[in-house]
Amino acid sequence: MKFDLSLFRTWRTVLIVLVVLVASGVALRPLEQPAWDVVRASQPALKLESIKGALGQGVTVGLLGGFRSIVADFFWLQTNVVWEKNDLPATQTYVHIVTAVDPRPLYFWLNGSRMIAYDMPNWRIQAAGGYDVVPPGVQRRFDEEQSKVAVEYLTEGLGYHPDEALLYIEIANVYLNRLKDSQTASEYYLKAARQPDAPFYAARIYAELLRKLGRNREAYDWLVKLYPTLPKGKDAPYTAVPEVVLERIRELETELAIPQDRTFQQ
Amino acid sequence: MSSATSSVSAAGKTGRVPFSFERLRLIAGNTFLEAVRQKLFNFLLLLAVAMVVSAQFFREFNFGSSELKFIADFGFGALVFFGSTLTIATTAQLFFSEIENRTALTLLAKPIWRAEFIFGKWLGVFAVVGVFCAVTIGLLVGLLFYRENAIMSLHPDAFEAGRIVDYAGIFWVGVLQWLKFGVLTAIVLLVASFSNTNLYTVVTGFFVLVICHLQYLARDAYGHMDNLLVKLPVMALSYIFPNFQLFNLADNIGQGDGIAGEVVVRVALYALVYIAAIGGLAVYSFRNREI
């Protein structure tokens, strides 16, 4: 068998190209890594696993090419189209695709979770025959199942926005409004109130939930600690409402029969 | 042209001409002129310009982000998408037009280094893509400035701390994208140096572009792998291909302190080293090619 020299030359070229590329990659890693850490921190990873069903629709190049937020907007439009048709599987799929493509805007997480937790149980009840036909136990099960999906979805959102009070509040609202679970809702309102830039109402609702749970002493202690931190005066945001907090403190002092000399002093 | 002629005459005495930047410049200039005369360049430039300008008509379409962020995303999207297409298609077309028209034979029969040919081609395409980047970024900055002024007059309270668009950051993102296109040009030239057809080069170029954008997945993955037989190839993949996501600094604009100078320098150096390395490999591969 005759030895083909040109074949050897081709493989030698390929080998040299690969070796040089690997050597360049290894040599450049220390230069690249600090910059990559900075870039990576600002852009959430693209979760291809979640969007692989949609990749065939010509979005791959768009996603990689920099049209990430535009592609997410298009998918959000699509989400609304299927939502209007009460199409549960499609809506749930698109809601997840939108945040897989672009998990940065809170808008998608909040509105997506509301579709899952508040609209989908109604769709399921309607599909099963309506409120008059479906037994309350089954309705309750639908609520629980969809709420679980919504909470999981919002918890995933917290992975991208760990300090975002609005996500904690949204979880708390699901527990409070759909599952009537004031205990768990209060825990999430507390987490929300502890986040930077939390809305003032999160702390107030936490206290109200404590009162609802009969934990008046805790509610009183919380509000007494909260009141001095609230901005006051004419330049204060109108949402701070320190006068409302003070009113609640006085109500609780009455309910807890706190002696006059030990009441909260401003 | 005189220095090029003198180096050629020097070749007669020594048998080998020295590397000439003048010849490199001539090849680059010719490549640039050929590229800007192409319909593809004008078409893609027009598309990108239309896309950036039309961003303001889509501003109601921004669900999750502010209007200015949406316009910036739209503009960067146009830059990256059409810029990548232009880079791959133009490089392949200009390289193979020399081969198919036999002008490469005439050119390389003269005392011209193959490195001059390859890097001349690279420089010509890099200049064309530079014009594309400058026009797109210039338009984007103009549009953002126009819209920011309009919003400022409507909501002056929101701008008490000054302008919110980081124009310097946009400029640096444009420069880094241009350098990324430089790396992509070198990659396409490397593919073209051993490829036989224009189509193969373009298709491979697009595949490599996608792989380079997803390279970070491989580097993330091999750290969590236990099976050495799988881990080693994945690790090798992460070292073979450059990381194109590194150039995507658009998300850092307006976050924290904006784009740090050190990061820009690191990314720029990363691109320049890759351009030199991959360009060198293209020259090596092209030297082994029979035309």
B201 phi/psi in degrees, rounded to 5: -65, -45
Torsion B98-B102-B104-B107 (CA) sign? negative
| Claim: this prediction has a pTM higher than 0.80 | no
Q: Hey, how many other C-beta atoms are within 10 angstroms of the C-beta on B50?
A: 12
Q: Residue A102 in contact with residue A72, Cβ under 8 Å?
A: yes
pLDDT of A49: 56
Sort B56 into a burial class: Cβ within 10 Å, 0-12 / 13-18 / 19+.
middle
Place of tokens 């490549």: B31
Q: Is the pLDDT of residue B6 over 60?
A: no
Q: Give the tokens for residue A171.
A: 């979880």
Say if CB B172 and CB B265 are below 8 A apart: no
Q: What is the DSSP letter of A44?
A: P
- What is the distance in angstroms between the Cα of B8 and the nearest Cα belonging to chain A? 30
Is the dihedral angle over the CA atoms B159, B161, B164, B168 positive or is it negative? positive
* Distance of alpha carbon A207 from alpha carbon A189, whole angstroms: 9
Cα A196 from Cα A187, distance rounded (Å): 17
Which of A12, A69, A108, A164 is the mutation pick for testing B, counting most B CBs within 10 A? A69
In whole angstroms, give the CA distance from residue B73 to residue A108. Answer: 17
What gap in Å lies between CA A174 and CA A157, rounded to an integer? 15
Residue A198 has pLDDT above 50, yes or no: yes
DSSP state string for B205-229: HHHHHHHHHTHHHHHHHHTT---HH
Q: How confident is the model at residue B124 (pLDDT cuts 50, 70, 90)?
A: very high
- Pick from A24, A36, A61: CB nearest B246: A36
d(CA A77, CA A71): 10
**Of B16 and B127, which is predicted with more confidence?**
B127
Please judge whether B70 and A69 are an interchain contact, meaning their C-beta atoms are less than 8 angstroms apart. Answer: yes
Is residue A92 predicted with pLDDT exceeding 90? yes
Nearest to A13 among B238, B267, B288 (CB): B288
Average pLDDT score over residue span A154-170: 93
| Range of weakest confidence among A212-216, B187-191, B231-235 | B231-235
Centre a 10 Å sphere on the Cβ of residue B103 and count the other Cβ atoms it contains: 12
Helix residue ranges, H only, B162-250: 167-194, 198-213, 215-222, 228-240
pLDDT at residue A57 tops 60: no
Amino acid at B203: V
Report yes or no: A206 and A193 within 8 Å, Cβ to Cβ: yes
Confidence band of B288 (pLDDT split at 50, 70, 90): confident
Distances (CA, A) of A136 to A122, A132, A142, A195: 12, 9, 10, 37
pLDDT, residue B5, reads 47
> Of the candidates A39, A66, A69, which has its C-beta nearest B64's C-beta?
A69
ipTM: 0.82
pLDDT tens-digit profile of A201-247? Answer: 999 999 999 999 999 999 999 999 999 998 887 777 888 888 899 99
- Asked if A38 and B288 come within 8 Å (Cβ–Cβ), the reply is no
- Cβ atoms of residues B146 and B53 within 8 Å: no
Chain B hits for A70, Cβ within 8 Å: 73-74, 77
Angstrom distance (rounded) from CA A117 to CA A111:
10
Q: Which residue of B has its CA nearest to A21?
A: B240
